[in-house]
Amino acid sequence: MHGTRIENLAINGGKPVRENFLDFSRPVLGEEEKNEVMKVLDSGWLTSGDKVKEFEKRFAYYIGSKYAISVNSCTAGLFLILKVLGIGAGDEVITSPNTFPATANVIEHLGAKPVFCDIKLDDGNIDPDKIAEKITSRTKGIIPVHYAGAPCDMDAIETLAFNYRLFIVNDAAHAIETEWVDGKIGRHGIASAYSFYATKNLTTGEGGMVVTNNENIARQLTLLRLHGLSDDASSRYQKSGKSSYDLILPGYKFNMPDILAALGLVQLKKIYSHHQLRFELDEYYRSLLQDVEYVTTLRKVNKGAHAYHLFPVLVDFDKLSCDKDEFIDALKSENIGASQHFKPLHLYTYYRNKYGYKEGDFPLAEQFGQRVITLPFSPYISKNDVMDVVNALKKVLDHYCKFRKLYSFEIMERLESRTLY
Judgement on whether residues 60 and 180 belong to the same structural domain of the protein: yes
Domain final position from 270, 300, 327: 270
Judgement on whether residues 206 and 172 belong to the same structural domain of the protein: yes
Is residue 5 a part of any domain in this protein?
no
Judgement on whether residues 99 and 231 belong to the same structural domain of the protein: yes
Q: Which of 113, 120, 200, 324 is catalytic?
A: 200
Asked if 300 is an active-site residue, the reply is no
Judgement on whether residues 196 and 81 belong to the same structural domain of the protein: yes
Domains contained in the chain, number:
2
Q: Are strands 167-172 and 139-143 parallel, antiparallel or unpaired?
A: parallel
d(CA 270, CA 28): 10
Handedness of CA 280, 284, 285, 291 (dihedral sign): positive
Is residue 1 a part of any domain in this protein?
no
Distance of alpha carbon 5 from the chain centroid: 35
Closest CA to 342 of 84, 64, 125: 125
Judgement on whether residues 256 and 127 belong to the same structural domain of the protein: yes
Domain final position from 270, 286, 321: 270
Please count the other Cβ atoms lying within 10 Å of the Cβ belonging to residue 62.
18
CATH number at residue 97: 3.40.640.10
d(CA 121, CA 171): 19
Question: What string of pLDDT tens digits covers the 421 residues of the chain?
Answer: 444 455 799 999 999 999 999 999 999 999 999 999 999 999 999 999 999 999 999 999 999 999 999 999 999 999 999 999 999 999 999 999 999 999 999 999 999 999 999 999 999 999 999 999 999 999 999 999 999 999 999 999 999 999 999 999 999 999 999 999 989 999 999 999 999 999 999 999 999 999 999 999 999 999 999 999 987 656 555 655 566 789 999 999 999 999 999 999 999 999 999 999 999 999 999 999 999 999 999 999 999 999 999 999 999 999 999 999 999 999 999 999 999 999 999 999 999 999 999 999 999 999 999 999 999 999 999 999 999 999 999 999 999 996 554 555 555 555 556 544 3
Judgement on whether residues 253 and 341 belong to the same structural domain of the protein: no
Judgement on whether residues 255 and 322 belong to the same structural domain of the protein: no
- The pLDDT tens digits for 89-146 are 999 999 999 999 999 999 999 999 999 999 999 999 999 999 999 999 999 999 999 9
CATH number at residue 324: 3.90.1150.10
HSE-up of 203 (CA within 13 Å, CB side)?
17
Domain range for 301: 10-25+272-420
Judgement on whether residues 59 and 208 belong to the same structural domain of the protein: yes
Report the run of H or E that residue 385 belongs to, with start and end: helix 383-400
pTM value > 0.95: no
Is residue 3 a part of any domain in this protein?
no
Q: Are strands 167-172 and 191-195 parallel, antiparallel or unpaired?
A: parallel
Judgement on whether residues 388 and 276 belong to the same structural domain of the protein: yes
E-state strands within 108-251: 113-116, 139-143, 167-172, 191-195, 208-212
